[in-house]
Amino acid sequence: MNSLERGTLRLISSQCLQALPIRGALVMGGKHGKYAYVLRNDGWYVKVRVLKSRNETDPSRYLVIGPKRRDAPATYPVLREDEVPEEVRKQLYMV
């Protein structure tokens, strides 16, 4: 089993980020899919709370709760940094 199958990820450059598949489209992590991990451009993952009742473009939909991790659990959905609003991206680096 290679490192991508186990869910670990080591990024060397931003070009690697473009080619990686995003896991979690159909899996539910935590309770009822309330939590997800966002993959930052530096290769770290940050846990966020997703409020499903809010519009997808609304920055208050995502609450950054941290902490940052080197890898995301396999059962949680993973979002890329460019999929969240700009205000949330700034909060990802404050963790």
What is the domain-level CATH number for residue 9? 3.30.160
Question: Which pLDDT does position 81 carry in this prediction?
Answer: 95
Tokens of 47: 């846990």
The whole-model pTM stands at 0.68
Contact 84, 22 (CB under 8 A): no
What is the distance between the alpha carbons of residues 53 and 41, in angstroms, rounded to a whole number?
27
Question: Which pLDDT does position 29 carry in this prediction?
Answer: 59
pLDDT tier at 28 (50, 70, 90 boundaries)?
A: low
Q: What value does the mean pLDDT of the chain take?
A: 78
Can you give the residue range of the structural domain that contains 18?
Answer: 3-92
What is the percent of the chain where pLDDT is above 90?
56
For the segment 28-54, the average pLDDT, to the nearest whole number, is 89
Task: Kindly report which listed range (21-25, 51-55, 59-63, 73-77) carries the lowest average pLDDT score.
Answer: 21-25
Closest C-alpha to 62, from 42, 41, 80: 80
Domain total of the chain? 1
Higher pLDDT: 32 or 87? It is: 87
